[in-house]
A = this chain, B = another copy of it.
Amino acid sequence: MNYEHQLNTDLTPQYITKLRDEFNDALRVLSLPKHPTYLYEPISYVFSGEGKRLRPILLYITGDSLGATEKDLKYAGIAVELLHNFTLVHDDIMDQDDLRHGQHTIHKKWDESTAILAGDGIYVMSLSMIAKVQNHPLEVIGTFNDAALIVCEGQAYDKQYEYDTNITLDEYLIMVEKKTGWLIGLCTELGGILGNQQLETIQSLKKFGTKLGTAFQIQDDMLEITANEKNMGKSLGSDLTRGKQTILSILAREKNQKDWQNLNSNILEIDRSIKIQKEFLEANGILKKADQMIQSYIDQAIDTLKYIPDPCNSRLLQFTKLILNRDH
């Protein structure tokens, strides 16, 4: 990995791509043993493809602009990406999702036992990686562990809320903040710790990432309906049809519970279901309302930037604009 980046580099799409390529390369060449193949083949498979690597990029950008060392940012960046992938492997089993980043999930390509163990192994690898940081290692490790438990709690709420049509918008938002927001908040928080910031600044960085991550997840819920499967690289429409609570189903229920339930009680062919749901959501202003909610979380994130020193704050603002402007 080549870390000859300039502190004041403008956050161009080219620069993001360069960082992404570097993290993709680093993950592909993780020094994995060959044996036992039962454990390491599926782990290699997970990192053989390309990923967006948004989390390590965000961590890198944050810490780099606060003066953290390149080595520490590399270790911590890879660690959060491994942590993220551990949660994906296990969540995909729990949610019976067959596609991820355009390829079969482990439990689909192999079986559930293989996927459980591969997820465990990836998590252990993330711990070994985070333990390599030189600056404030105990604080970094403690923060990393705390975040992992919150992410488990978020996934637990997600499972607990399945098929529960009494879930309120507030409950949904807490779930999303824990499940997705917290891990993205961990990236900016670690960037701050590795960059020797004061507690108040680290708290602001964490809040920025958590709010940004929550916006990102709500956007993901929306893309289930508005994007197409090829762009997303995973099965679409599955959340709504299998009873997952998403921003759209909750807002739809709040708007017109009876019509929404009628519409969903007829099990149709999946593409047809999505089309009907989409028409309902548009006609009832739900997509617009969800968009406003995303904007509100972005505003909350941006509002914390005033507590974060230059050039970190301006780079985080640029990053926000780049990642939320997406169709997948």
Residues of A within 8 A of B (CB): 36-39, 90, 93-94, 112-114, 116-117, 119-121, 123-125, 127-128, 131, 137-138, 141-142, 145-146, 148-149, 152-153, 155-157, 159-160
Contact = CB atoms under 8 A, between A and B. Distances in A.
A159 B113 contact: yes
A148 to B, nearest CB: 5
A152 B120 contact: yes
A120 B90 contact: yes
A145 B90 CA distance: 20
Given A94-B116, A124-B149, A38 B131 contact: no
A38 B179 CA distance: 14
A124 B116 CA distance: 15
B94 A113 contact: yes
List the number of copies, as a whole number: 2
Given A38-B159, A94-B112, A116-B116, 9 more contacts: A36-B160, A39-B153, A94-B113, A119-B120, A124-B148, A124-B152, A127-B148, A128-B145, A131-B142
A124 B137 contact: no
Contacts of A153: 36, 39
A147 to B, nearest CB: 9
Contacts of A127: 127, 145, 148
A128 B116 CA distance: 21
Contact of A123 (B93, B112, B123, B157): B123
Given A36-B160, A123-B123, A152 B93 contact: no
